[in-house]
């Protein structure tokens, strides 16, 4: 608890700030705070927890293939159902509770990991930036799977740092059952195992078993969806039919950047373009610093996966949330500053991050 309490305090303060700003931003005749936290994907996860997955493909009346709940990975709704069963809370409240428990666990684990890598002061600053100052950090307290994925990603990296290989493999496998970006976690684990085997120059069964275990998560769910729908590429077809998501090597992202920076209008596209460029720049800086290779691969892989596919541009900041890597340059710079300077910078960043997420949830009319 002596190690965990600062991260828990940051969780409490950041969550309270997110909720206060969201309540202030919400119009009095609009949805309540609970409904805001269950918006968009939150309702879909809650529906899966309550009713399970469809039996196969779903089609529009015209016969066109549509998106379905099969696009959403199973671990988060399974945990919602578990919390509902244990506490007897309704599914919506259970979903919010599940996300917040995962968020608290994620902050503790990230704090432990970064303390080992960069020291206590840098770690605490990075945790504050992660919890509140990131645009879209509000999603961590919503019924979304980002908090769970972050917790499992950080747990994998922390276990790798401690060379607890089987724990790392189990956490990576669970991350792969949470989001498709679990491949970034597996890539980080594979690199760590390769570096360990190269250093010791002798085979060891635990690291190899960890890699084998980690590689069962995402492929296992994709196989299950293909078997349920009767086609091996079922998950990819559902993603493209429902959300237009497919791999295009970043062409759609570059097109978005060009059009937005040349003659874009509106706060959301312009700010999204600028913030994504800032994330790319921060990631590039970490490549020029002495960054721990597994963390470098994890964050860079999430960046590539996010920018290399055709997902909605206004969702890309949310998809980047678990990539702790890009927070490190700023956290290390602030760690060298005076305490008063750090307090002013972190407070201003937290207010901006909380406002940005609340704006996207209350004013922006599209899914986040």
DSSP state letters, 293-331: HHHHHHHHHHHHHHHTB---GGGHHHHTTT-GGGGHHHH
Q: What are phi and psi of 180, to 5 degrees?
A: -65, -20
**Residues with Cβ within 8 Å of residue 98, at least 6 apart in sequence:** 76, 79, 80, 83, 143, 148
CA dist., res. 49 & res. 251, Å (int): 35
pLDDT (0 to 100) of residue 39? 96
pLDDT (0 to 100) of residue 322? 95
Residue written as tokens 């040349």? 262
Residue written as tokens 């972190």? 346
According to DSSP, residue 132 is labeled: I
Contact at 8 Å (CB) between 235 and 222?
Answer: yes
CA dist., res. 231 & res. 237, Å (int): 9
pLDDT (0 to 100) of residue 26? 95
Which of these, 97, 86, 105, lies nearest to 149 by C-alpha position? 105
CA dist., res. 254 & res. 235, Å (int): 26
**Residues with Cβ within 8 Å of residue 290, at least 6 apart in sequence:** none
Residues of the chain with pLDDT under 50: none
SS3 31: coil
pLDDT (0 to 100) of residue 264? 85
Q: Six-digit token pair at 283?
A: 């990631």
CA dist., res. 192 & res. 173, Å (int): 15
CA dist., res. 220 & res. 136, Å (int): 30
Q: Six-digit token pair at 218?
A: 């995402």
Torsional sign, CA 246, 213, 290, 197: negative
Q: Six-digit token pair at 158?
A: 């922390």
């Amino acid at each position: 608890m002596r190690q965990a309490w600062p991260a828990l305090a940051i969780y409490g303060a950041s969550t309270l700030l997110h909720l206060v700003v969201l309540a202030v931003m919400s119009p009095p005749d609009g949805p309540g705070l609970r409904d805001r936290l269950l918006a968009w994907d939150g309702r879909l996860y809650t529906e899966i927890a309550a009713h399970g997955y469809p039996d196969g493909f779903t089609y529009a009346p015209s016969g066109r293939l549509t998106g379905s709940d099969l696009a959403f990975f199973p671990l988060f709704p399974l945990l919602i159902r578990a919390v509902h069963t244990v506490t007897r809370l309704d599914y919506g409240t259970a979903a919010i509770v599940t996300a917040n428990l995962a968020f608290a666990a994620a902050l503790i684990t990230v704090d432990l990991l970064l303390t080992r890598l960069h020291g206590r002061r840098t770690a605490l600053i990075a945790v504050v930036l992660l919890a509140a100052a990131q645009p879209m950090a509000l999603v961590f307290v919503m019924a979304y799977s980002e908090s769970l994925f972050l917790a499992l990603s950080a747990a994998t990296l922390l276990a790798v740092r401690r060379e607890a290989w089987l724990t790392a493999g189990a956490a990576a496998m669970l991350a792969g059952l949470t989001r498709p970006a679990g491949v970034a976690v597996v890539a980080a684990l594979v690199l760590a195992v390769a570096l360990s085997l190269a250093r010791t120059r002798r085979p060891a069964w635990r690291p190899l078993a960890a890699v084998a275990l980690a590689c069962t998560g995402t492929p296992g769910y994709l196989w299950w969806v293909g078997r349920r729908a009767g086609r091996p590429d079922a998950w990819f077809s559902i993603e493209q039919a429902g959300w237009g998501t497919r791999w295009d090597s970043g062409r759609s992202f570059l097109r978005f950047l060009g059009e937005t920076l040349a003659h874009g209008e509106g706060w959301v596209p312009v700010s999204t373009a600028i913030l994504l460029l800032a994330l790319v720049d921060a990631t590039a800086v970490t490549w020029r610093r002495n960054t721990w290779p597994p963390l470098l691969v994890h964050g860079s892989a999430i960046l590539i996966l996010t920018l290399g596919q055709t997902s909605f541009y206004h969702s890309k900041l949310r998809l980047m949330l678990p990539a702790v890597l890009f927070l490190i340059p700023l956290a290390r710079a602030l760690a060298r500053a005076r305490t008063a300077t750090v307090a002013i910078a972190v407070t201003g960043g937290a207010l901006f991050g909380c406002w940005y997420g609340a704006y996207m949830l209350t004013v922006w009319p599209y899914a986040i």
